[in-house]
Amino acid sequence: MTKSVRKTRLLGSSLAFIVIAIALVWTLYPLLWVVLSSFKPEQDQFAVPPVWLGSEVTLANYYQFFHNSSFLKALVNSTVITLSSTLLSLALGIPTAYGISRFKMRHKDAISIGVLTIRMLPPIVMVLPIFLLARMFRLLDTYTVMIVVGAFFSIPFVIWMMRGFFDEIPPELEEAAMVDGSSRTYAMCRVILPLTAPGIAATSVLTALVVWNEFLYALVLTGTNTRTLPVLVNSFVSEKAVSWGVMSAAGVVTALPLVLFALMIQKHLIRGLTAGSIK
């Protein structure tokens, strides 16, 4: 290896190191600020100049958050809506993904494009008619409408992600089972699904992430009974009287569970997000 090559290697490494350092600071600065604020006592929130660490580390903000009935209710609402939507979209999306992966069809491209269209649809187009329809059927401020809508916009993720997992499994496996005379449904449930269990887990996390973070539909379709965490967080942002510490705690509680889950499946995340075009 020549000297100059080694020199460029070294230069490349140090450049990479600098880039990574900047990226880390850029990413962590806002996150740390909110996380640390959630442990700061009230009086330190307004310190000038701003302080990173308060005079003491306190759990008071979290205590207040968990003892506030509207926060707690929103936490429950978000959980119910997220879990139900995820279940529904898996139940509807997995067979579809399996079908697209296995069956020979003339309109496969059309179906793919249709699913892509739905994934790309700007929510602002749909939120008004869905609001008016839900109003007509008296479904506003119910879990039902949120679950139905949540499943609607997360099924495309399920289809993309699961289709990739099904494609990886050789069709001979269930064909062998089907030769025994069992139906395809049976073969899929008994043979294929267990093999894709990790894929299903990853898909559920992605679906849950999408539903949990959703804001526009929730803002319009929920009421006092079904308000989700993002809507609640929003409703306190503009309030001067509300404590930034409690808000930060609310932000951390809203973000943390999904961050942990999503990081666990990050290597699968990309498939669901890019229509399987990148693995």
Applying CB under 8 A, does 130 fall inside the site for other proteins?
A: yes
In this chain, which stretch among 60-68, 168-176, 184-192, 194-202 interacts with other proteins, using CB under 8 A?
Answer: 184-192
Nearer to other proteins, 55 or 183 (CB): 183
Applying CB under 8 A, does 179 fall inside the site for other proteins?
A: no
Least distance to other proteins, CB of residue 63, Å:
20
Among 59, 72, 132, 201, binds other proteins (CB under 8 A): 132
**CB count in 10 Å sphere of residue 274:** 12
d(CA 162, CA 115): 13
**CB count in 10 Å sphere of residue 219:** 15
CA atoms lying within 13 Å on the CB side of residue 173: 18
Applying CB under 8 A, does 60 fall inside the site for other proteins?
A: no
* Residues between 190 and 209 that touch other proteins (CB under 8 A): 190, 209
d(CA 67, CA 25): 34
Nearer to other proteins, 60 or 184 (CB): 184
DSSP 52: S
Mention every residue, 6+ apart, whose C-beta is less than 8 A from residue 54: 36, 39, 40, 41, 44
d(CA 164, CA 160): 7
* Residues between 98 and 127 that touch other proteins (CB under 8 A): 98-100, 103, 105, 111, 114-115, 117-118, 120-127
* Residues between 240 and 259 that touch other proteins (CB under 8 A): 240-242, 244, 247-248, 251, 254-255, 258-259
Nearer to other proteins, 103 or 172 (CB): 103
Number of residues that bind other proteins (CB under 8 A): 126
Assess contact for 178 and 190: CB atoms under 8 A: no
